[in-house]
Amino acid sequence: MKIASVSTALPPYRYDQDTIRQELQKIWSGRPSANGRLKSLHENVRVSQRYLALPLEEYAKPRTFGEANDHWIRVSQELGEEALRGALEKAGLEPKDVDAIFAVSITGIASPSLDARLANRMSLRSDVKRIPIFGLGCVGGAAGIARAADYVKAYPDEVAVLVSVELCSLNFQQGDTSVANMISTGLFGDGAAAVVIVGERRAKQLGIAGLKIVDTRSVFYHDTEDVMGWKISERGFDIVLSPDVPVIARERLAPDVDKFLKSRGLDRKDIKSWVCHPGGPKVLSAIRDGLELSDEDVRFAWRVLDQQGNLSSTSVLMALNEAIEEGSPGKGAPGLLLAMGPAFCSELVLFEWQ
């Protein structure tokens, strides 16, 4: 099983953190207590700039959940197509080569789903298998790779693609000045990524080196469903973001990583590339400390956080793209891609550089 390529796509509207904060201060001008905390909350998330699905001034306009979701349907198709075409081109493949398409998002909904709409836009084959996935949040990028790997393991002559599109800004709630929502207005951004995963026999036939997927592991933490997610109501998606997230990341992730690596005859010191989801500075620092890593070890995640913010399921794929662009640390060197998200849960993908 090979990760043949990764490609990303970002909206055309890029703003630095101060510009976004100033617009929010105008929107919340009648709430001085909220405005008083906004600057420090935005500075603490360590995000320099973000890309937004709409021009910044559009976020001051009231809109219904349906109107916001219509924007999601439109922009997700545009960015999803751009990312997927880029990934296929990098892999030397065409849309007709796709046997299965996995689509993950937690920031909008559609029926027909995003994968079906991309199948129409890109003229995928009529027998393409579609697997839309909703609800995984920040863990969705890693889980999507793992599930696509499961697919090509069963069908080694086939090609699976993963498309992740997250337009977090479209869920901005003007009436919510809770700390969790104000943090989210400084942390989350918009973007898309696509990954091409090729079965073993097909990869040999095509001469694709890529990253070899060695194994995957899913870990579910029981009775943690209130830690992260959405509260869904008539006005749309309200963020649920507990301060327990960094605690869980620090205390629970390392034992699960160690158990997974041990099953493959490895330990942490063997991993040469750490590709982590940049959930935010507290979460990323907790992952770093819990695994006894350095900031250099998790540099790909810090870069994505600084330049794009947290893009939910898309972020870890952005970090993977950063790792690939930096280049291989050596043939056969092990790498670990990991993310955590709603439920609460984690997904681990062990790979080797080729």
DSSP 243-302: THHHHHHHHHHHHHHHHHHHHTT--GGG--EEEE----HHHHHHHHHHTT--TTTTHHHH
Answer for the pair 276, 338: CB distance below 8 angstroms, yes or no. Answer: yes
Question: Which 3 state secondary structure label does DSSP give 272?
Answer: coil
Catalytic site includes residue 138: yes
Other beta carbons within 10 Å of 205: 11
Distance, in Å, from the CA atom of 240 to the CA atom of 227, rounded to the nearest integer, reads 7
Neighbouring-strand partners of residue 297: none
Q: Which residues of 312-331 are buried (b: 16+ CB within 10 A; e: fewer)?
A: bbbbbbbbbbbbbeeebeee
Are 68 and 237 in contact by the 8 Å Cβ rule? The answer is: no
Q: Residue 28 has which token pair?
A: 């919340």
286: nearest Cα among 252, 335, 256: 252
**Closest by CA position to 12, among listed 71, 52, 59:** 52
Catalytic pick among 138, 168, 276, 345: 138
At 329, is the secondary structure helix, strand, or coil? Answer: coil
CB-neighbour burial class of residue 120 (10 A; exposed 0-12, middle 13-18, buried 19+): exposed
Cβ-in-10-Å burial (0-12, 13-18, 19+) of 269 comes to exposed
Give the type of residue at 315: S
Q: Degrees (nearest 5) of the Cα angle 192, 198, 201?
A: 175
Q: Report how far residue 261's alpha carbon sits from residue 272's, in angstroms, rounded to the nearest whole number.
A: 13
Return the active site residues.
138
